[in-house]
Structure formats: C-alpha cells, structure tokens
Amino acid sequence: MTRRLRTFIAVDPGEPVRDRLVALQDVLARSAQGVKWVGPENLHVTLLFLGEVGDRDVPALCQAVADVCAAQEAFALEVKGVGTFGPPNRPRTVWAGLGAGQAELVALHDALELPLMELGCYRREARRYEPHVTLGRAKGDGDNEMLATALTRHANWKGGEEEVSEVEVLSSELQPQGPLYVVLSRAKLSRAGRRKRAEEDE
C-alpha cells in the first residue's frame, strides 16, 4: 500500500541565523496575542510546497531535485527585516524577510518547477513566489496593535548571512504539538563558480 507524505522543498537558514530568528520570536511574542510561533527546528525558507506525494515517487523526486541543484551555484543568503501577510495588526502570518540571495532563491524555485511538474508531484501556484522565513501564524483574527508596533520597531532587524550550499526535501507529519519535519534527502549546490572566482582573485 502506497503511503503518502506531505512534502516540501526548503533551505535551512543555518544555526547562527536560526538563533537570531528565535530571539526575534521571543521579542515579538511579548507583544503578540494569539500567534502560534514556529518551533526553532522548523524555521526554514520554503522553495516549493508539493503536498501529498506517494512514497514510491520520493526517490525520483529527490533525484530530480539533486539534478537541478547540481547545475545551480551555492550563494550567500541574508535574513533581515520583518513583516506580515495581512495587516500588521491582524496578520495571518508573521515572517522574517530576505536581502541578498533572494534572486538566487527565485531562480532555484523556477528551475525546480518544470522537472517536478513533469514528474506529476507539483502543480504551479497562481501567486508569485515570495521567499521568506515564517515566524508564526495567527490563531484568530483579533486586533493586535501591540504586535504592529513591535513590528515597526524591528523593521530594520538583521539576522545575519549564511551560505546556502544545499537544498532539503522534507516530509511534514502533523502532530498535536506541531508539525514534525523529516529530511528525505539533501541536494548539494555547485561550488564550481565560487572556486573559479577564488582562483582568479589569488
């Protein structure tokens, strides 16, 4: 019997950046009401959400991701700024934004779409891809003026920079305490361009 896995593809922000993201969550939580904050181990930048994928299709999926990533160069990703989907005083989602590396993430997302659509495990979304790190999700639609003020105060927050050298394929299993993410595979990005530039600088 085929088991179906709730699957997505993401980038890990790295431990130093994650620690700063958690510290930011702690600060915002003092002003927020009714927000469920993402656990530290689950903070990431989603590239594509695939939904339910049969376990027999996972090897082909992971290979397709590996093939795409091998043709993409590693890059630096800067995490900075905060914002919301929905009005700041009634947000649906609270997120941390990105600086340098956004264009590379979008290019990686775009490169992954076609081969995964051909595999039949992904359907292109109508909305434009906007890379970010989800910090928390609102549990209700109550007014949250204190959170809006805190977000304004931290608009120029900086989380630091980390090199993105691999992409993860993960499954998500919903549990009472929150989703449990399991890494199904890691796909390495190319370092050829970086090596060449380093040699030219010597």
Q: What pLDDT is stored for residue 177 in this prediction? A: 76
C-alpha pair distances (Å), 29 with each of 82, 109, 132:
13, 31, 19
Q: What pLDDT is stored for residue 79 in this prediction? A: 97
Q: What pLDDT is stored for residue 183 in this prediction? A: 96
Residue 109 annotated to the active site: no
Question: Which residue out of 97, 132, 148, 157 is catalytically annotated?
Answer: 132
Residue 132 annotated to the active site: yes
Tell me the average confidence (pLDDT) per consecutive run of 10 residues in the chain, 202 residues long. Answer: 88 96 94 87 95 92 96 96 88 93 96 93 87 90 79 92 96 84 95 52 53
Q: What pLDDT is stored for residue 129 in this prediction? A: 93
Q: What pLDDT is stored for residue 196 in this prediction? A: 43
| CA–CA distance, 174 with 182 (Å, rounded to integer) | 11
Residue count of the chain: 202
Question: Which residue out of 44, 80, 105, 150 is catalytically annotated?
Answer: 44
